[in-house]
């Protein structure tokens, strides 16, 4: 019953936020690659180091403990400048037991997720309000279409690790709960939109004690 309620809330939030979503792609470049001005290096002096990212070397021993929330290590244009203009990026996701990556969207790219360890329950909602779900095991892949609201959930008691590829160097992330309940939208608008009461809206807002 709790999972059915969770899926219902997901669909309602997705439909409420869908009109706000804007999708776009990376622009084409006219050179082989782009060197940020901050580097001040001529192209002929660039080495393989510029095209190398080592952030995924982080081991379990060096990750925060205890692990109560999602750990997302991003290899995007901000963290890995060589990706500028290449229309690709990765994120490594580490899910503690019973951890949820809340409903969110990537406005500039589709997401192709592969489970490396453990298992995940995933899903997305299309523009008609239909929910697509799947339970994934290690080695399984799942694609989240560009700009659609989606989530991942580690139902098990063991950690899960996944790797997500994006068709953009800067796919962007819009966290639906935080965007809807944490950005100052008027309480009257929220109560009418979700057909609920003021106190329920207050409980869902990040500043409330229940979410601390």
Kindly give the confidence (pLDDT) of every residue in the chain, 212 residues in length, as a single tens digit, with 9 standing for 90 and above.
555 444 545 545 554 454 444 556 787 887 888 887 766 677 788 899 999 999 998 755 455 555 678 899 999 999 999 999 999 999 999 999 999 999 999 999 999 999 999 999 999 999 999 999 999 999 999 999 999 999 999 998 889 999 999 999 999 999 998 888 888 889 899 899 888 888 888 888 875 333 32
pLDDT of residue 26: 81
pLDDT score at 63: 56
| pTM summary value | 0.79
Cβ burial 123-158 (10 Å sphere, 16+ → b, else e) = bbbeeeeeeeeeebeeeeebebebbbbbbbbbbeee
Sign of CA dihedral 47, 48, 51, 52: negative
Domain chopping of the chain, boundaries: 23-172, 175-211
Q: Is 101 annotated as a binding residue?
A: yes
Q: Does domain 23-172 have CATH number 3.40.190.10?
A: no
78 belongs to an annotated ligand binding site: no
Q: Is 207 annotated as a binding residue?
A: no
- At 181 the pLDDT is 87
Q: Which helix (H) or strand (E) holds 199?
A: helix 198-204
Residue 106 is assigned to a ligand binding site: yes
Helix, strand, or coil here: 34? Answer: coil
Distance of CA 172 to the CA centre of its chain: 8
- What CA–CA distance (Å, rounded) separates 154 from 67? 13
């Amino acid at each position: 019953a709790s999972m059915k309620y969770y899926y219902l809330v997901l669909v309602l939030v997705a439909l409420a936020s869908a009109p706000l979503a804007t999708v776009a792609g990376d622009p084409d470049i006219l050179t082989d690659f782009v060197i940020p001005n901050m580097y001040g290096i001529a192209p002929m002096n660039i080495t393989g180091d510029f095209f190398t990212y080592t952030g995924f070397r982080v081991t379990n021993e060096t990750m925060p403990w205890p692990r109560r929330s999602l750990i997302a290590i991003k290899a995007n244009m901000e963290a890995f400048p060589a990706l500028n203009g290449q229309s690709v990026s990765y994120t490594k996701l580490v899910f503690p037991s019973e951890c949820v990556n809340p409903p969110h969207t990537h406005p500039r790219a589709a997401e192709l997720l592969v489970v490396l360890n453990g298992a995940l329950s995933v899903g997305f909602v299309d523009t008609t309000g239909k929910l697509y779900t799947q339970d994934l095991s290690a080695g399984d892949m799942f694609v989240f279409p560009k700009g659609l609201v989606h989530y991942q959930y580690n139902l098990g008691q063991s950690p899960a690790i996944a790797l997500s590829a994006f068709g953009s160097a800067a796919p962007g992330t819009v966290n639906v709960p935080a965007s809807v309940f944490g950005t100052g939208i008027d309480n009257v608008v929220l109560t009418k939109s979700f057909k609920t009461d003021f106190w329920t809206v207050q409980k869902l807002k990040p500043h409330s004690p229940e979410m601390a």
